[in-house]
Amino acid sequence: MRRVCARVRALKILHPLFALTPVRRFTFVAPFLSKRDLQFQLYEVLDTASLPHRPRFAEHSREVYDDVLALAYNVADKYFANHAREADLNEPHVVDGKVQLVPAVQTAVNAFRDAGFFSAHHDEKLGGLQLPWVVLQAVQANFQAANVGSSGYAFLTIGNANLQREFASEAQQAKYMMPLLEGRWFGTMALSEPHAGSGLADITTSATLREDGSYNISGSKMWISGGEHELSENIVHLVLARIKGAPAGVKGISLFIVPRYRVNEDGSTGESNNVVLAGLNHKMGYRGTTNTLLNFGEGGETVGELLGEAGRGLAYMFRMMNEARIGVGMGAVMLGYAGYLASLEYARERKQGRHASNKDPQSGMVAIIDHADVKRLLLRQKSFVEGGLALGLYASALVDEIQTGPEAEKPDNELLLDLLTPIVKSWPSKYSQEALSDAIQVMGGAGYTRDYPVEMYYRDNRLNPIHEGTEGIQGNDLLGRKLGQAGGRGLQVLIAKMQVDLQTSGGLDGVAEIRAALQTAMQECGAAFGKILKRAAELGPDLFLANANSALEALGHTVIGWMWLRQAAAAAKALPNAKGDDSDFYRGKLQAAKFFAVYELPKIKFHTDLLASADPTTHDMQSAWF
Amino acid sequence: MRRVCARVRALKILHPLFALTPVRRFTFVAPFLSKRDLQFQLYEVLDTASLPHRPRFAEHSREVYDDVLALAYNVADKYFANHAREADLNEPHVVDGKVQLVPAVQTAVNAFRDAGFFSAHHDEKLGGLQLPWVVLQAVQANFQAANVGSSGYAFLTIGNANLQREFASEAQQAKYMMPLLEGRWFGTMALSEPHAGSGLADITTSATLREDGSYNISGSKMWISGGEHELSENIVHLVLARIKGAPAGVKGISLFIVPRYRVNEDGSTGESNNVVLAGLNHKMGYRGTTNTLLNFGEGGETVGELLGEAGRGLAYMFRMMNEARIGVGMGAVMLGYAGYLASLEYARERKQGRHASNKDPQSGMVAIIDHADVKRLLLRQKSFVEGGLALGLYASALVDEIQTGPEAEKPDNELLLDLLTPIVKSWPSKYSQEALSDAIQVMGGAGYTRDYPVEMYYRDNRLNPIHEGTEGIQGNDLLGRKLGQAGGRGLQVLIAKMQVDLQTSGGLDGVAEIRAALQTAMQECGAAFGKILKRAAELGPDLFLANANSALEALGHTVIGWMWLRQAAAAAKALPNAKGDDSDFYRGKLQAAKFFAVYELPKIKFHTDLLASADPTTHDMQSAWF
């Protein structure tokens, strides 16, 4: 433990010495994250404090985690939150052929690097702290909430390195991955092409074998986040391409490591690798993250190295997908959460109107948080973002279980994570957007202006239901693949876990509504899934999947209901001995659980009825009839 | 008829002669409006063609209406759609103390003026065409769809003039209203103040009587759209203020006519009236319409004239509210509609993936409109925007019924319009936003970029659930005022009208689902409203209104379901004799009605159950628990 503790302590001392005095662009400043809730989720709902009992985390302690999280919060607050609006208002643009970002982005990613977060979850021998995945996600949550655009560069780099760590050769890891872990080089994922976004099977970028065993890469890649910038010495693209002569479809797709600058023997960067910036995409939000169209092999050869085996490119990508999709879901959660906190602060300060029961115009106005409909909008946000956070961290803890937990439980946990992944990705993407709309609504005209951050979060988060697999793809994944996978074992594992929480929460005060609503939801889902799966062959794939979105909605709400049962149970246990703010905090959890039980879970029935009916209305619609 | 026809013909000849060649900023061009659907709604669902039988419209004919609509479309297409994005990217800003807009706005409002649309619904003696309200709304729909920002200046002016026409003295009308009808001066509504937005009872702007009977106006007004610009010779503000010594609350509020420049005896504009621009609001969308903070009486006296009687200011405003709220609802409908048409065009062109049933990677990709989930997103949009359009035009036709229909039906029609108004305003505001989110989703990454218009519409429309009474206020208005008004007569009238449509559609092909779903929805609403209204006194105003939003949702969906029954019935009647495109059009209407019946109306039950239960969860929540 000493080694890790000492390094964490060194970081704590180091950071206050950074010279920059951050200036916020908003005159209105609300916290972007609830430290109290993060603690509750990690230590009272999840059992993160017990992870140091495992060999990989033996050097850790709760204090280490808390120190790392405090550091993350401080770096996020000082170096990321400070320029979120500035980067939104000054989106990346090209000057003299180079992508220009606001200068604060460089300072921010340097601070992230100096805090060691690029490698924090990696092995000590690679310079990491061996942080558990769940703690890493909690760390990242700070940055996602503070500034989703600037943190994008870091997270893409981390994801790229994770993939290399899993599948690249040792030589490739030394050459391309280590500079990512050190934060000197940054990374991207280059999958989509102008004509192939969701349908990656149809990509046409080609790879031609060279004499030295490397490949010439040629083609165009679209929607590449972090595809070009001057933040790092080099950019390592992971590129999907077809080796000349490979079969059509997914089996002909391979993965290549393609650096922006070629890499010399000594690891230094050399000449241009002819990856040419063909254009920047101008987005509604998420503007801080450059998004590019890149041409490979334009004006000269672009040389890449095959990563792993030929023809397994998409398989490698999909092996990393669970973790990438947890990342998108958590990003969505944190945008929603930041919006919730901003609207909450506003609602407590802003006075307007009186209670309906008060007809005296001479009486003072009340804070708008005292109006029931504003409380509804805030409770709705709270139930969505805290439910989403619980799920994102639960799924992250499951990654730790799979990697470091009991071997015997690994297959079940893998199936459970597979089943949950489409929900972890899509549910917060959708419901944080609803929460952010509610945040704007709470703030009225103010929320619609750029004087407050919520309109920006609303624009930022609208990306999340699109990238890393659209909502439609997540629905098809859930119904068409995950629910039936391994004979439905994933759903059985999920139900068994829910049953445990239902049993252990039996006698607790204040959890009756959420327990009852969850049980109803489980029954409705179980019956509907059973019906539709049984009819799959008879319906054929197209009609079977026509209402897949309702499977996603129904199981998504059920899973969030479960997350609220777990939170409510933890709160109910703690409440009798809690005082002051803590007591309020737990009462809020219980009320939000009740809200989700009464105002959200009953909505499932519509979806389970629709799914079970295999209604053909959308399937039967014809293009010409629109 | 000759006079009107001749004028309309003159306009048709005039407009092609305008010299400007419009250049669209989007490379992607989709129609912003379905002329076919507008025709269907006016002549096949509504009986607009019969209006010329009434004395006020005796000079009209269907041909006149069609010509006016064709003119509206052409002016909207050439002079409004051309700069919607340009105005979005270059929002109003102050240069040398003056608000600068993109030059195309001036050209646009001039074209609108020259087409005679500022006065089109007014009496012939005022220079108008005496157009029915429903035709005026259909005219305006073109401009709302083409460019909501630039058309805002015109619509605010029209609304201002309508209020003057109703309540101002003849002298005031001659002095202040006629220049608005001529499109020489523009108008605003100046209600909100920095500390009083939704709660107008608390405004503090003061009015002090001067010796000549006019008033000195002093105070600040916030969120004033069109509050300052150089588009017109003068700006006429309608300002809510308190005469010194007036009582607190709404009874102390009067309405004043306050021009930007004082008006000379001869009607020409004179010196500054000391209405000072204190700042521009920077909005997420709707950027083309300047939104201002104005100080009255700064650096000199601001002189205003009392409009109507003292103490009746809010009453006058609310008398105009039904029409203003129809306008907001229609604006929302048309933004949603434009987004739907854009995503529809994209979905037909963009190829991606294959049917789930096709495993051959060598086969060609299909247009994304062939995927069931994309059809779901498009059907959802279609059902929302065409349902919303039907409602907006129905409510507009009701205005005509009240103004020119049988006197005996007037009281019932007024109650019905009162009841429908919160729905007409809020339902499209909310559901067009959902439709626009779906439009973005259909288009994927492309929809998220500024290369396509849908992200702009999405930002534009997010204002609509906020202004002219928030969604919360509409819910309270519906449950707390309209449902119980006149012993519930409004709801009885509504149900009776629905019953007529249910009866007359009985034997038609293809309307079974929507008929059944509407009947269920009516029963659920009726039962829930009965229960909650009966318990109003027992619950007290605060708890009674706590779930008012669910009343709005339940009756809103039911009313739109009714609109779909009316459309489905018209389509079912026409289909047997229709050919080609017309046949497709009617089949699309029937399928969209089925969609709304199966995919939307069942969602009501959740809301009626919640409302009937008088659940206190939001009411009981405490500020400290958040």
SS percent in chain A: helix, strand, coil, step 5: 60, 10, 25
In eight-state DSSP terms, residue A364 is P
> Which of B225, B328, B376 best probes binding to A when mutated, by most A CB atoms within 10 angstroms?
B376
Q: Which of B223, B362, B448 to mutate to test the interface with A (most CBs of A within 10 A)?
A: B448
Residue A431 resides in a domain:
no
Taking CB atoms and an 8 Å limit, are A618 and B595 in contact across chains?
yes
Chain A residues touching B455 at Cβ < 8 A: 283-284, 462
Question: pLDDT tens, A469-510?
Answer: 999 999 999 999 999 999 999 999 999 999 999 999 999 999
Q: Are B184 and B232 in contact (CB under 8 A)?
A: yes
Q: Tell me the CA end-to-end span of chain A in Å, nearest whole number.
A: 65
Contacts of B618 in chain A (CB under 8 A): 372-373, 375-376, 379, 595
Q: How far apart are CA B344 and CA A291, in angstroms?
A: 25
Query: Residue A321's pLDDT is what?
Result: 80
Same domain? A29 vs A132: yes
Residue position matching structure tokens 């990690």: A42
Q: Are residues B261 and B350 in the same domain?
A: no
The closest CB to that of A283, out of B192, B449, B623, belongs to: B449
Number of structural domains in chain B: 4
By CA distance, what is A453's nearest residue in B? B284
Contact A470 B248 (CB under 8 A): no
Same domain for A145 and A192, yes or no, is: no
Predicted pLDDT at A29: 79
Does any domain span residue B75? yes
Spatial CB neighbours of A220, under 8 Å, sequence gap ≥ 6: A193, A194, A205, A278, A293, A294, A295, A296
Q: Looking at the structure, do residues A199 and A254 belong to the same domain, yes or no?
A: yes
Considering only A49-53, A572-576, B238-242, B357-361, which range has the smallest mean pLDDT?
B357-361
- Contact A585/B198, CB-based, under 8 Å? no
- Please answer yes or no on whether A622 and B587 come within 8 Å at the CB atom: yes
Same domain membership, residue A192 and residue A158? no
Name every chain B residue with its beta carbon within 8 A of the beta carbon of A376.
546-547, 549, 618
DSSP B364: P
Q: How far is A213 from chain B (nearest CA, A)?
A: 28
Q: Specify if A451 maps to a domain.
A: no
Whether residue B125 is found in the same domain as residue B197: no
Give the SS3 label for residue B418.
helix
Alpha carbon distance B564, B394 (integer Å): 12
**Mind telling me how many Å the CA of B414 is from chain A's nearest CA?**
25
Chain A residue closest to B380 (CA)? A618
Residue in chain A nearest B617 by alpha carbon: A595
What is d(CA B56, CA B134) in angstroms, rounded to the nearest whole number? Answer: 14
Nearest CA distance, B364 vs chain A (angstrom): 10
- DSSP alpha helices (H): ranges in B104-147? 104-114, 133-146
Of A365, A445, A542, the CB nearest to B372: A542
Distances (CA, A) of A373 to A450, A471, A586, B427, B470: 24, 29, 22, 17, 11
From chain B, the residues in CB contact with A620 under 8 A are 591
Whether A520 and A612 map to the same domain: the answer is yes
Residue B175 lies in a domain: no
Which of the listed residues A272, A291, A311 is the one where a domain comes to its end? Answer: A311
Residue B156 placed within a domain = no
The answer to whether residues A9 and A71 belong to one domain is yes
CATH number at residue A83: 1.10.540.10
Hey, what are B514's tokens? 């929507």
Say what angle helices B604-613 and B548-574 make with each other, to 10 degrees.
Answer: 150
> CA dihedral in degrees (A56, A59, A63, A68; nearest 10)?
-70
Nearest CB among B462, B545, B585 relative to A372 is that of B545
Q: Is position B180 within any domain?
A: no
CA distance B549 to A495: 34
Phi, psi of B30 (to 5 degrees): -120, 155
Domain containing A288 — which CATH number? Answer: 2.40.110.20
Whether A382 and B626 lie within 8 Å, measured CB to CB: yes
pLDDT at B29: 79
Please identify every residue of A annotated as catalytic: 468
**Does A490 share its domain with A603?**
yes
Helices B62-75 and B133-146: angle between axes, nearest 10 degrees: 20
CB within 8 Å: A355 and B458? no
Under 8 Å CB-to-CB from B51, ≥6 apart: which residues?
B57, B60, B132, B134, B135, B400, B404
Q: Are residues B142 and B221 in the same domain?
A: no
DSSP string for residues in A190-247? E--BTTBSS-GGG---EEEE-TTS-EEEEEEEEEEET-S-SSSS-EEEEEEEEETTPP
State the average pLDDT for chain A.
95
Interface test mutation site (partner A, options B341, B590, B621, B622, max chain A beta carbons within 10 A): B621
Identify whether residues B456 and B496 lie together within a single domain.
no
Closest residue of A to B548, CA-based?
A373
State the Cα–Cα distance between residues B339 and A37, nearest whole angstrom.
39
- pLDDT, one tens digit per residue, over A81-103 is 999 999 999 999 999 999 999 99
B598 to each of A436, B386, B427, B560, B595, how far by Cα in Å? 28, 16, 19, 13, 5
A336 within domain boundaries: no
Q: Can you tell me the distance from the alpha carbon of B596 to that of B237, in angstroms, rounded to the nearest whole number?
A: 42
Residues in A touching B25 (Cβ below 8 Å): none
Q: How far apart are CA A90 and CA A100, in angstroms?
A: 9
Residue in chain B closest to A543 (alpha carbons) equals B372
CB contact under 8 A, B355 and A542: yes
Judge whether B242 and B205 are in contact, CB under 8 Å.
Answer: yes
Name residues whose C-beta falls within 8 Å of residue A364's C-beta, 6 or more positions apart in sequence: A351
Does A466 sit within 8 Å of B440, measured CB to CB?
yes
User: 3-state DSSP call for residue B170?
Assistant: helix
pLDDT, block means (10 residues), chain B with 626 residues:
58 43 55 97 98 98 97 97 97 95 98 97 97 98 98 97 97 98 97 94 97 98 97 98 96 98 97 97 97 97 98 92 91 98 97 92 95 97 98 97 98 98 98 98 97 97 97 97 97 98 97 98 98 97 97 98 98 98 98 98 98 98 98
pLDDT band at A27 (very low <50, low <70, confident <90, very high): low
> Nearest CA of chain A to the CA of B592: how many Å?
9
CB contact under 8 A, B284 and A369: no
pLDDT over 50 at A23, yes or no: no
pLDDT greater than 90 at residue A10: no
Residue of A nearest to B481 (CA): A356
Enumerate the residues of chain B whose CB falls inside 8 A of the CB of residue A624: 584
CB contacts of A469 in chain B (<8 Å) are: none
The total number of residues written for chain B in this structure: 626
**B222/A445 CB distance under 8 A:** yes
> Which of A199, A463, A587 is opposite residue B353, by nearest beta carbon?
A199
Q: Do A281 and B379 touch (CB under 8 A)?
A: no
Q: Which domain holds residue B361?
A: 320-469
Shortest CA gap B59–chain A (Å): 36
B207 and B248, same structural domain?
yes
Q: Chain B residues with CB inside 8 Å of A603's CB?
A: 603, 606
> Taking CB atoms and an 8 Å cutoff, what residues of chain B touch A250?
361
The partner residue sitting opposite B450, judged by closest CB among A282, A378, A441, is A282
What is the SS3 string spanning A463-530?
Answer: CCCCCCCCHHHHHHHHHHHHCCHHHHHHHHHHHHHHHHHHHHCCCCCCCHHHHHHHHHHHHHHHHHHH
Q: Positive or negative CA dihedral for A158, A160, A165, A171? A: negative
Question: What pLDDT shows up at residue A22?
Answer: 36
CB contact under 8 A, A201 and B353: yes
Question: Nearest CA to A199 among B377, B370, B339, B27?
Answer: B370
pTM of the prediction?
Answer: 0.96
| Residue A584 Cα, gap to closest chain B Cα (Å) | 5
Q: What is the pLDDT at residue A25?
A: 42
Residue in B468, B513, B524, B553 annotated catalytic: B468
List of chain A residues whose C-beta atoms are within 8 Å of the C-beta of residue B374: 472
- Residue ending a domain, choose from A311, A326, A351: A311
B332 part of a folded domain: yes
Q: How many angstroms separate the CA atoms of B282 and A500, rounded?
A: 51
Are the C-beta atoms of residues B552 and B622 closer than 8 Å to each other?
no
Q: From A258, A277, A311, give the residue that closes a domain.
A: A311
CA within 13 Å, CB half, B221? 28
Is the Cβ pair A619, B375 closer than 8 Å? yes
* Contact assessment for residue A198 and residue A277, using Cβ atoms and an 8 Å cutoff: no
The percentage of chain A sitting over the pLDDT mark of 70, rounded to a whole number, equals: 96
Q: What is the CATH number of the domain that holds B413?
A: 1.20.140.10
Cα(B315)–Cα(A39) distance, integer angstroms: 53
Contact A57, A51 (CB under 8 A): yes
